[in-house]
Structure 1
Amino acid sequence: MTGGPASGRPRLLRAGMGAAAVGLLLIYNSVDTGSDADAEDGKPAPPAAAGPTVPGPSGATTKAPAAGPQAPVLKRAKPIRLRIPQIAVDAPFTELGLGPTGQLDAPPPDEKNLVGWYRDGVTPGERGSAVLAGHVDTSKGPAVFLLLSFLLPGNKIEVSRADGTVAVFSVDSVETFAKDAFPDAKVYGRTPDAQLRLITCGGTYDKKKRDYLDNVVVFAHLESSHPG
């Protein structure tokens, strides 16, 4: 493992928590996000806390055709609410910071309907890859990203922002990656436009490790924006 507090780069948290998992399991299995070259406009490539998902097909990939026309990038504005009609998501945001070891704090483990956003990273609609993270199940049952892996290319993701605008993203692909082969550059690399990444855990749940073996990542691009 490289990076961490000494390098000034936040580390990605790819943690899973099952029904009985609490506390320090939220900072389990963290790795480096990649090089400083992945930062966009001087901002660090945002890490993401990843909650667990229900078992799904490991390695599954749903890809879209080439993206259509993309909307102009927006100015920085904090995200307020996430809506994904196709999977019945309507959730507020919480800001995520870094813990003392350089790992991203996860959303509260007992909050079923809450999405995390790294407050020092790109905001949804800005140039670059904004990263959102959420649990799929918690000690209280199914959570906000339970159905994330069921999104399809062309589905819409709406992010209401503090400046009164709504950024509308179109899903490009949904992919599942083994945690021990996670493509940091693909997920966190620089982009010339405004893109979005939604991340959670997926695949088989390893009872010994008390963690899911994969990550589900939704790739999307900014399609339009309008007043809220």
Structure 2
Amino acid sequence: MRPKIVLFGDSITEESFGEGGWGAALASHFSRTADVVLRGYSGYNSRWAVHVLEKVFASLGDGEGKAVPKAVTVFFGANDACLPDRSSAFQHVPIHEYEQNLHKIVSFIKKLWPTALVLLITPPPIDEDGRLRYPYGDNLSGLPERTNEFAGSYAKACVAVAGELGVPMIDVWSKMQQFPGWEKACLRDGLHLTASGNRIVFEEVVEKLKQESLSLETLALDLPLFFDIDAKDPLKTFRNSDGPISS
């Protein structure tokens, strides 16, 4: 069976299959070698993610006739890092609980699919001016509901959890801030990604997967390329490829 790469996260994951999205780019990149499966839930924090793990993952692969995913990206923290005394306080999760929830999510995935690679991704940086320009709901305080410094503390917590668990991670918070003008170049509303921001995430995910021996070079091609097919006897070519072929 064609292997799966599952994307699990909040709106930054849910939107990733849109035009220019990092998930769509992954699906294109692995178009003949793996199925990229979207499991993104806008507005979710790590607390809510823990509560829905069974529903999210139960149907994706159990080793009994279903392909166990090769990799799962876990991309939470942007909503956890809402400030507890501002307009999106209902999404806030204390940082120690966020760390515990990441532990629970990784543990659940590894128990369900021991061979799957789990890749943690930190929350992105925050452009506070962008959040003021594009607030979610009524923002009577006139203050951003997220700050870059507070998001950074969650990013550092994610990095620490990855180290504790011995799983790979991508520090998007730090990576994006290496680019001049990242605030507007990478973030369209201070939080969600522009095409450039999506490109950064895509390239980082591809590189990290490659470091973990999951790449176009290591994955089998699904059926022969058209120029490798014997036009006089195509069934011979298909029979020599993996899997059953109908005559």
Q: Same fold (TM over 0.5)?
A: no
Greater strand percent: which structure?
A: 1
Structure of greater Rg: 2
TM-score, normalization: structure 2?
A: 0.28
Identify the structure with the greater helix proportion: 2
RCO comparison, higher one (Cα < 8 Å, 6+): 1
TM-score by length of 1: 0.29
